[in-house]
């Protein structure tokens, strides 16, 4: 009886060369490499975002640095031009000023350069829409009924004190998250584009004219 009991309880005997399969577990090295890869990807993403942010700051700083500072004579000429052109009829055309890093600010600077020289323009600034659906294939059009509007004629009383971008911002606040649009009177459009080229305002394109 003892012999039978011992035989039943003894471990299974293996034939020579036979291997018992064991459950596979990921090795420690593979786990470490997986975690390292995740951190590497996150680090690269963070670095690229930080670099883009800093590049955008440099771009904006450069735009501020290059903004015109007008003399009293220049501002007096602008006031005379506004008075001469006040109330003239004609269509307005949107101008597109692009900069991949700080697009809104470059549009803002373009508006400043035109307004302080007496060009007949309208500048629209619309707050961000909280209900905007990012899944839409195209961005919504600006709702002019909700946008704050600044025209050259409206700002005319203050032109004589706007010798710099900082002084301009006191009357036309800059908000980086706002959607901006700049339209120029058709009679001033060609001269406006020449001015942009002279001032080094980047990537100016002429769209299909449309009345605003």
Please determine, for residue 115, whether its predicted confidence score (pLDDT) is greater than 70: yes
pLDDT in the model for residue 100:
58
187 pLDDT tier (thresholds 50, 70, 90): very high
Concatenating the DSSP letter of every residue in 91-105 gives -EEEEEE--SS-HHH
pLDDT tens column, 11-60: 455 455 454 444 555 567 777 677 667 766 766 655 454 544 454 456 56
Between the two ends of the chain, the Cα-to-Cα distance in Å is 106
pLDDT tens column, 58-99: 656 776 777 788 899 998 999 999 998 887 888 998 888 866
User: H-type helices in the chain, by residue range?
Assistant: 2-9, 28-66, 72-85, 103-115, 152-155, 165-171, 189-199
pLDDT in the model for residue 135:
46
pLDDT in the model for residue 90:
84
Two tokens at 187?
């009679």
Please determine, for residue 116, whether its predicted confidence score (pLDDT) is greater than 90: yes
pLDDT in the model for residue 24:
54
**Closest to 192 in 3D by CA, of 132, 131, 128, 110:** 110
CA angle centred on 68, ends 65 and 72, rounded to 5° = 135
The CA dihedral of 63, 66, 71, 76, to the nearest 10 degrees, is -40
pLDDT in the model for residue 122:
94
For the full predicted model, state whether its pTM sits above 0.85: no
Distance (Å, whole) CA 47 – CA 44: 5
Q: At what angle do helices 103-115 and 28-66 cross, to 10 degrees?
A: 0
pLDDT in the model for residue 102:
60
Domain limits of the chain? 61-129+144-205
pLDDT in the model for residue 96:
83
Please determine, for residue 184, whether its predicted confidence score (pLDDT) is greater than 90: yes
Distance of CA 141 to the CA centre of its chain: 17
145 pLDDT tier (thresholds 50, 70, 90): confident
Distances 78 to 83, 196, 198 between C-alpha atoms, Å = 9, 17, 18
What does pLDDT average to over the chain? 74
pLDDT in the model for residue 130:
57
Radius of gyration of the chain (CA): 33
Distance (Å, whole) CA 74 – CA 200: 19
- CA pseudo-torsion sign 126, 129, 134, 139: negative
Three-class SS state of 29: helix
């Amino acid at each position: 009886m003892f012999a039978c009991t011992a035989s039943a309880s003894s471990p299974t005997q293996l034939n020579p060369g036979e291997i018992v399969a064991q459950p596979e577990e990921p090795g420690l090295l593979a786990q470490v490499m997986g975690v390292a890869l995740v951190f590497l990807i996150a680090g690269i993403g963070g670095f690229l975002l930080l670099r883009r942010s800093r590049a955008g700051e440099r771009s904006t700083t450069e735009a501020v640095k290059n903004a015109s500072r007008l003399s009293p004579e220049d501002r007096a000429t602008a006031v005379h031009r506004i008075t001469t052109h006040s109330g003239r009829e004609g269509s307005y055309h949107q101008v597109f000023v692009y900069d991949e890093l700080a697009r809104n600010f470059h549009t803002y600077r373009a508006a400043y350069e035109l307004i302080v020289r007496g060009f007949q323009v309208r500048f629209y600034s619309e707050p961000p829409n909280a209900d905007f659906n990012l899944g839409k294939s195209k961005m919504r059009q600006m709702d002019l009924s909700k946008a704050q509007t600044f025209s050259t004629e409206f700002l005319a009383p203050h032109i004589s004190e706007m010798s710099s971008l900082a002084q301009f911002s006191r009357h036309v606040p800059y908000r980086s998250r706002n959607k901006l649009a700049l339209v120029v009177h058709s009679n001033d459009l060609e001269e406006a584009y020449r001015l942009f080229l002279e001032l080094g305002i980047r990537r100016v394109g002429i769209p299909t004219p449309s009345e605003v």
